[in-house]
Amino acid sequence: MLAPENLRYSSDHEWIKSEEGGRVRVGITDFAQDALGDIVFVELPELDAAIEAGASIAEVESTKSVSDIYAPVSGKVVEVNDELNDEPQKLNSDPYGDGWIFVVEVQDQAQVDALLDAAAYGELTEG
């Protein structure tokens, strides 16, 4: 499974990409989208919502199941990918690009640093 080196990963199969201004972009990994199958619906988090690391904040429905999306870090949701309302399949076709889910203004950068790097995530998914 694809796990780009420039991203950090949660054990719940979310990825984050650090951006300017203490923000991170969040999505689900290639491993997660493959396990879910064809995604047909995404419930996005609320804009401006305060979120806690580890809390369920969104939901993805596929032809196989319904799965929670967990916040990999604490902070405030400052952007959501509204395109997923009409094109949820972007999570399958481009999980690390157009399939991003939301952007968080991070409270504590140490939470980002504590996430898995690509090698560690690869070990998690192979085990």
- Residue 39 has a pLDDT of 97
Domain 8-121 has CATH 2.40.50.100: yes
pTM metric for this prediction? 0.93
Which residue ranges make up each domain of the chain? 8-121
Q: What DSSP line would sit under 29-74, residue for residue?
A: -HHHHHHH-SEEEEEPPPTT-EE-TT-EEEEEEESS-EEEEE-SS-
Question: What band does 27 get if pLDDT is binned at 50, 70 and 90?
Answer: very high
pLDDT at 2: 84
The tokens for 100 are 């991003």
Name which of 92, 85, 97, 96 is nearest 42 in CA terms: 85
